[in-house]
Amino acid sequence: MRRSSQNGGLPAPPPDLPTRLIGARHDACGTETRARTKIIEAYAAPHREYPLVKVNPMANWSKKQMWKYIYDNEVPIHPLWELGYKSIGCKPCTAMVGAGQDERAGRWNGSKTECGIHTAQKPLNYSI
Kindly report the CATH number that applies to the domain delimited by 1-75.
3.40.50.620
Residue spans of the chain under pLDDT 70: 1-16, 29-30, 45, 106, 108-128
Angle at 7 between CA 116 and CA 50, to 5 degrees: 45
What are the sequence ranges of the domains in the chain? 1-75, 77-106
Give the pLDDT confidence score for residue 53 in this predicted structure.
84
Model confidence pLDDT, tens digit, residues 77-102? 989 888 888 777 777 777 888 888 77
Query: Is 115 considered catalytic here?
Result: yes
Give the pLDDT confidence score for residue 49 in this predicted structure.
75
| Contact indicator for 34, 22 with CB cutoff of 8 Å | no
What sections of 37-109 are H helices per DSSP? 63-72, 79-83
